[in-house]
Amino acid sequence: MKEHLKHCKYTVFHPIAGFEEVKWNGKGSNVISFVVLFLFFLINVLSAQLTGFSFNTNNPDKISMISIFAVSVGGVLLWFISNWAVSSLMDGEGKIRQIWVVTCYSLIPYIVFTALFIIASNFASLEMATFLYLLQAFGIAWSCLMMFFGMYQIHQLDFKGTVGNILLTIFGIAVMLFLMMMLYSLFQQVYAFAYTLFSEIMFRM
């Protein structure tokens, strides 16, 4: 485990070399990946609840753990599934485990800088808002770069191919969300019809 943690830390600061080892040397830990995913969910919960009052746009009385879980963990899973499907069609060389490791490891900078943002927001004044939002944006940008370099390494695509892979992955997520909304609407209509039919039968009996 110590070796896996060392490699994870190395990958954060050297994503190209780190993900190259994931591709060719089997590095990367599924256990660490799931821990990172849990921390990603946790930091989003903490962000909604503990961000300083001056910087928090959430209503504490309306925070839903289920919604946060669906957006954070569900979003990661949608990215993972969509990228795997797209990469299979584009002849990407990345295996399922490699895609999973890259996806989860790339969340680490976001988690770290969001934690710093939460802490700083409870002590900083509004005059520091620009600095704090830049801090958060830096974490997001770092995670995006890690994701890009990770996909570049594991799928063995060129620059244009990697950009196309990511754009198609985003498109795939949009398609899956659309289908999920359609299925949800269909189930609602079926439930409403069944409930109405049952009510009519019970009323006539």
Q: What is the pLDDT of residue 198?
A: 77
Q: What is the pLDDT of residue 179?
A: 94
| pLDDT tens per residue across span 149-169 | 999 999 998 899 999 999 999
| pLDDT tens per residue across span 87-112 | 888 878 889 999 999 999 999 999 99
Q: What is the pLDDT of residue 201?
A: 76
Q: What is the pLDDT of residue 205?
A: 65
**Tokens standing for 156?**
């063995």
Determine contact, residues 110/117, Cβ cutoff 8 Å: no
Q: What is the pLDDT of residue 202?
A: 73
- Other CB atoms within 10 Å distance of the CB of residue 173: 17
Q: What is the pLDDT of residue 193?
A: 82
Q: What is the pLDDT of residue 89?
A: 84
Q: What is the pLDDT of residue 70?
A: 92
Q: What is the pLDDT of residue 204?
A: 67
* Spans in the chain with pLDDT lower than 50: none
Q: What is the pLDDT of residue 142?
A: 97
Check: pTM over 0.85? Answer yes or no. Answer: yes
Question: How would you label 124-148 residue by residue, b for 16+ Cβ within 10 Å and e otherwise?
Answer: beeeeeeebeebbeebeebbeebbb
Q: What is the pLDDT of residue 96?
A: 93
The greatest distance separating any two alpha carbons of the chain, rounded to the nearest whole angstrom, comes to 72
Determine contact, residues 110/41, Cβ cutoff 8 Å: no
Q: What is the pLDDT of residue 7?
A: 93
